[in-house]
Structure 1
Amino acid sequence: MHDSSQSTTRSNVLTFLGIMLVALNLRPGLTSVASVLNQIGRGLGLSALDQGILTTLPVLFLGIAAPLAPALSRRLGIERAVLAAVVLLAFALLARPYLDFAALLIGTSIVGSCIGIMGVLLPGIVKRDFPQHASLLTGLYTAVVFFGASSAAGVTEPLRMAFDGDWRSSLMVWAVPAGIASMVWASQLNPEPIRKARPTPGHSLFRDPLAWQVTLYMGLQAVLAFAVFGWLPTILQSRGLTPVNAGFALSLSIMLQISTAILAPWASSKMRDQRLIIALAIVFTISGILGCIVGPLPQIWLWVVILGLGQGATFSMALTLLAIRAGDPETSARLSGMAQGVGYTMAAFGPLVLGVLNEWFDDWRIAGVFLALTGLGALAAGIAAGRDRLVGSHAAANASA
């Protein structure tokens, strides 16, 4: 009995460590490129359009690949599916800096696809292995996601300088944490033969109102997140901040997200449902965005802080809903595939819409109206998704009736 208890504890520790290490790799493949995009453009002779494609493709493929994750999980088993994705991610990160532009686009698309698959499967593993602490674990790994994103955004350029201006080597470095994650993840796999999971019978989530509410919340908050990531420094520079301070503002915003990424799911777990926390998070996010665009310039750092605190909570609550709105790990994976697949496909076009609006009107306030309306949509969807219900319960109730 004692040996069995020790074995279970060791397995839980390895699973927890594996989840955190995989989560660490869910953003560096994206944010590291943005940090040295100008150098990549000069090195490969890319146009502005080429650079825009390079930054849009991984987010787009993140959304395209996400719905494939449940099927991959059923074929390989959820742990082996994650392992396959993180191993492929490591190889793609290692190879893509040393390819020509066409192959670089393919490598970047593979990076986005691997991230999409891992992001879909992690909530199901949390739901299965830590059912009593799903909200807390989701908050912790969301914080690790933000830490990875912020680290890659802030460290890639200094690494390039340390490598005598070689942007290729600075990007290649991010294959190392992916390799470490794959080794740790492989060490906790069950050596038994693969037992392919059978699809869980049930109605299509695309006909479930609650699933669509979760999906719309995920997608609309992601539009805000990627729009801020892509354009916040440019917006702040247009208001008079230096490029250094504008870049620091984005890094500060991302770092502040770590705190509310942990606190918001924990606080919501103490409440009857998640509506209040989601509403507060969206209000903070909208206020921070509008403050950065039209607020008094002397208070700009206050708005940056408010924005970071709001977006940390909005994203972590989106991931929390994927775990707690499903009754079992299989449904969690299906819901995650739907929400992230549709959501990140929407998010891929958010920065593009902002760029088009600014080019047409040459006024960031117009873009601010678009972001405010997006935020209000996220607020409506989030309040609906935050009710204490389970995906599929409506259909089950109708069937029983």
Structure 2
Amino acid sequence: MRSPLTEKANLLLLGLAFIFIGLNLRPILASVGPLLPSIQEDISLSFTLASMLTLLPVLAMGLGCFVGFHIAKRLGFNTVMTGSLLLLIVATAMRFWVMDANWLICSALLAGVGIALIQTIMPTMIKLNFGERVPLMMGLYVTAIMGGAALAASSAPFIGMNLGWRAGLGHWTWLGIVALALWLMVKHKAALVNQTTEQTVPLRFWRFRRSWLLAIFFALGTSCYVCVLAWLAPYAVELGYSQTQAGLVLGFLTSMEVIAGLVFPWLASKSTDRRAIIALLCLLQLIGFMGLALAPQVSLFLWAGLAGLGIGGIFPLGLIVTMDHQQNPMLAGKLTAFVQGVGYTIAAISPWIAGLIRDNFNSFNSAWLLLGGISLMAWILSWQFNPQGYAHQYQVTRCVS
């Protein structure tokens, strides 16, 4: 029998592996925006076509969530995690040898599949292994996702200047290799889903109104997230910032997301009712986007920071609130997979719409106003998540001892 100290050490190592895995889920998206002017100088790539570098992986994330859980149950959660990390490493490494836009788009799509599978199974693995510490671990995991975006956005221009834009996109391969090595060291410490004694009553989550409400809320928040990843840096360049400065603006926004991802889930864990905090985050996001659209000359860093705080808090809390609806890890994972599947699929079109707006109106201002409207819609929906009603939204779990 393992001692409590050994179990705690194993949990810490497993948590560290999950954090490093999270760090790998956004660099392939976040590194494109700051380097886009250099890419467009080298290969033929319009803003609409460039949006595909975000649209396709996000769409793959959404569609992959619908099948990822079934794949994991058949092959094993640990096996799928290993394979997905390998897929992400290969997709990132492909960018060292980009020849044209099609090569870039193929690497984005391949990465999207790997990211989708990881994001589908991670909530179940966290809920299964971390028990009462789920809000904390989910906060750290999602913060790591945004931290990876911050690292990529802020450093890609410097790498691009010295080694070329292909290296700026592809050098994140090393981060994937580190995560894979760490995961292989600790994967045997993870509780296996098929070793649990819980059996669940089959639920078709698409039949429940609450599932769609959660999915739409997640879609609204994710639409804002992927749009700023794709277009904030090009917007800054159009305002006269250098590529390096534009990367720092995006890096600052994602740094604020990291701070929000740490602070707000911790604050929300003090109560089961998370509505007030989520509503505050929606308002911060709204103010940030209105500032970007109407008064960018005041301070691009100020508006980006406010938007980043909102986005960074809404993303993890959207997942935490979803998991609050189910105590059983398998059901929580399936519900989260449904919510992410619908949410990412809807959100995938937002960077494409913003790219169309830019190509047709020669400005991103209308896109920021649209995201402001989305933030207002999210604020309205946030008040629906009263925890006192969670027990009545779905059938209960049947446990077999």
- TM surpasses 0.5: yes
Deviation of 1:381 after TM superposition, in Å, equals 2.6
Deviation of 1:236 after TM superposition, in Å, equals 4.7
Matched with 1:355 is 355
CA deviation vs aligned residue, 1:147-175 (integer Å, no higher than 9, x gap): 11011112222223333x3x333333211
CA distance in 2, matches of 1:39, 1:83: 34
Paired residue type of 1:151: L
SS at structure 2 position matched to 1:297? coil
Matched with 2:167 is 169
Matched with 2:38 is 39
Matched with 2:215 is 215
After TM superposition, the structure 1 = structure 2 runs for residues 2-401 of structure 1, keeping only pairs within 5 Å, are 3-98=2-97, 100-101=99-100, 102-163=102-163, 165=164, 167-190=165-188, 200-236=200-236, 245-295=245-295, 297-361=297-361, 366-385=366-385, 387-390=387-390, 393-396=392-395
- The answer to which of 277-286 and 72-81 deviates more is 72-81
SS at structure 1 position matched to 2:67? helix
Tell me the TM-score normalized by structure 2: 0.88
CA distance in 2, matches of 1:367, 1:134: 35
Query: 1:67 and 1:199, CA in 2 relative to 1: closer, same or farther beyond 3 A?
Result: farther
Paired residue type of 1:58: P
Check the 8 A contact 2:249/2:300 in 1, yes or no: no
Paired residue type of 1:53: M
Deviation of 1:264 after TM superposition, in Å, equals 0.9
Paired residue type of 1:177: L
Paired residue type of 1:211: S
Query: 1:231 and 1:42, CA in 2 relative to 1: closer, same or farther beyond 3 A?
Result: closer
Paired residue type of 1:172: G
CA distance in 1, matches of 2:158, 2:238: 25
CA distance in 2, matches of 1:104, 1:359: 20
CA deviation vs aligned residue, 1:343-393 (integer Å, no higher than 9, x gap): 112222112222333455556554344223211221233322353454x74
CA distance in 1, matches of 2:22, 2:36: 24
CA distance in 1, matches of 2:168, 2:243: 21
Query: 1:305 and 1:203, CA in 2 relative to 1: closer, same or farther beyond 3 A?
Result: same
Query: 1:280 and 1:111, CA in 2 relative to 1: closer, same or farther beyond 3 A?
Result: same
Query: 1:285 and 1:48, CA in 2 relative to 1: closer, same or farther beyond 3 A?
Result: closer
Unaligned runs of 5+ in 1: none
Deviation of 1:245 after TM superposition, in Å, equals 4.3
Query: 1:385 and 1:84, CA in 2 relative to 1: closer, same or farther beyond 3 A?
Result: farther
Query: 1:233 and 1:160, CA in 2 relative to 1: closer, same or farther beyond 3 A?
Result: closer
SS at structure 1 position matched to 2:25? coil
CA deviation vs aligned residue, 1:218-269 (integer Å, no higher than 9, x gap): 1001111122222334445556656654443222111111111111111111
Check the 8 A contact 1:21/1:181 in 2, yes or no: yes
Paired residue type of 1:303: W
Paired residue type of 1:175: T
Check the 8 A contact 1:65/1:116 in 2, yes or no: yes
Aligned residues: 394
Check the 8 A contact 1:63/1:344 in 2, yes or no: yes
Check the 8 A contact 1:222/1:347 in 2, yes or no: yes
Tell me the TM-score normalized by structure 1: 0.88
Query: 1:105 and 1:287, CA in 2 relative to 1: closer, same or farther beyond 3 A?
Result: same
CA distance in 1, matches of 2:159, 2:358: 32
CA distance in 1, matches of 2:27, 2:73: 28
Paired residue type of 1:153: A
Deviation of 1:48 after TM superposition, in Å, equals 4.6
Unaligned runs of 5+ in 2: none
Query: 1:337 and 1:300, CA in 2 relative to 1: closer, same or farther beyond 3 A?
Result: same
CA distance in 1, matches of 2:259, 2:23: 16
- The answer to which of 30-39 and 110-119 deviates more is 30-39
Query: 1:388 and 1:80, CA in 2 relative to 1: closer, same or farther beyond 3 A?
Result: farther
Query: 1:227 and 1:272, CA in 2 relative to 1: closer, same or farther beyond 3 A?
Result: same
